[in-house]
Structure 1
């Protein structure tokens, strides 16, 4: 084989690899679902021709998707590989409360659902580990994960990270600083998450980023309002 032919062959292989944007699990599910739809379409072709044609078309699409490992929808969304996509969200705000008081409230993590409306609960396992549950529409399965505080500077910062094998791989850090006039607290929040590699979440992560940013901003406003208005909360055991 000539060097030119080898180069063309390697380019073809590379192009094929670059076009794969589905994980192996997604490809398996696509093939299985495609076969099921196609068989159902064949069985009912004479009884319900219209619905059968739709099933055959959908089955063929899923089979092609699974066999090639390529999803055109993902490509149009900018998902061109199976590498996970990191989403980083940052927000800063001022709260009219002393720094230590704001830190103490946040450090008791089971306080978070009081203002983070997308959280159903945060249960403390021990002094550093906690169990988080997202609030989802009725009928959907619960999404939960365990997290651990990996850095704690009392009165100044809290850093956490999800534990290995969590459904949602995420990490965050909150920093607390005295405001310039010394009467309030500057809070700086950084949250990062990584959807499962090759998953649909990864495929649209860059589209969902503004949605998650708005969600965090809403929670931030809730937190600020809660801290500025409510002086009755308990921050100690």
Structure 2
């Protein structure tokens, strides 16, 4: 498994992407036999003509080696990569993580975030949040450049006053999303905040106009929104 991390200006991890390399058998028995035969023929042809046609022979040796590997191992790297890319498109999640210090008392910072309707003031990817009661709300998200919108009902699933707020999309929503914010006293004063937000598009979203959810521009948009919170709470102004 490989892990990629994006760091903010203070060296804290802001986002993590994971993918797993595939080594499963993805070539049929008939395909393996054909690959071995074709690979052997190409390899023999490449060796026999290496002096007359060196460049053409080199290409045949490369192709032959690939087919031999495909037939002997039963794994086709091209198919595995394509399958992983398709899987990513259907199953990837936008994960954003940020950790920073706000120069405000912890209770004040918690109270501001706990009022969910405040979030669209500094999070530009949020068109609106309407609170139905203390634990249930309706969210509307917009894509980069205002292209595409998505809405769902959400519920707060964990609330520790002054310390933690956790939420998720309600059961039956057309998107799986969740978030968590923790608040703690910073050593030199102020409040240390850690934010985790995840968006996962619904299964079969391709062709439904929701591809922008996994667009890198949307990912960066959410990251900037989270980091914009510090400036907004401290100054009351929205940064660019």
TM range (shorter): 0.5 to 0.7
Gaps of 5+ in 1: 22-77, 232-237
Q: Displacement, 1:213?
A: 3.6
Matching residue within 193, 201, 204 for 1:195 = 201
TM-score (normalised: structure 2): 0.57
1:87, 1:203 → 2: CA distance? 11
Q: Whose strand fraction is larger, Structure 1's or Structure 2's?
A: 2
Partner of 2:231: 225
1:88 aligned to 2:95? yes
Alignment deviations for residues 200-230 of structure 1 (CA, whole Å, 9 cap, x no partner) = 467983x62x741443224422x21221123
Kept after mapping to 1: 8 A contact 2:129/2:140: yes
The structure with higher relative contact order (CA 8 Å, sep 6+) is 1
Q: Show structure 2 runs of 5+ residues with no match.
A: 1-28, 34-69
Closer, same or farther: CA 203–128 of 1 in aligned 2, 3 Å: closer
Q: How does 1:49-198 map to 2 (within 5 A)?
A: 79-81=85-87, 84-135=91-142, 142-181=149-188, 183-198=189-204
Q: TM-score normalised to the size of structure 1?
A: 0.58
Distance 2:200 2:173 in 1: 11
Q: Is the 8 A contact 2:166 2:180 kept in 1?
A: yes
* Structure 2 Cα separation of the partners of residues 137 and 202 of structure 1: 11
Native 8 Å contact 1:79 1:203 kept in 2: no
Instruction: Name which one, 1 or 2, has greater alpha-carbon Rg.
Output: 2
Q: Is the 8 A contact 1:156 1:177 kept in 2?
A: yes
Distance 1:116 1:137, change over 3 A: closer
Aligned residues: 168
Instruction: Indicate the RMSD between aligned Cα atoms, in angstroms.
Output: 3.8
State the distance in 2 between where 1:114 and 1:164 align.
27
For the 8 Å contact 1:79–1:202, the answer to whether it is kept is: no
Moved more, 141-150 or 121-130: 141-150
Secondary structure, counterpart of 1:79 in structure 2? helix
Aligned position for 1:31: none
1:105–1:111: 8 Å Cα contact kept in structure 2? yes
State the distance in 1 between where 2:103 and 2:121 align: 18
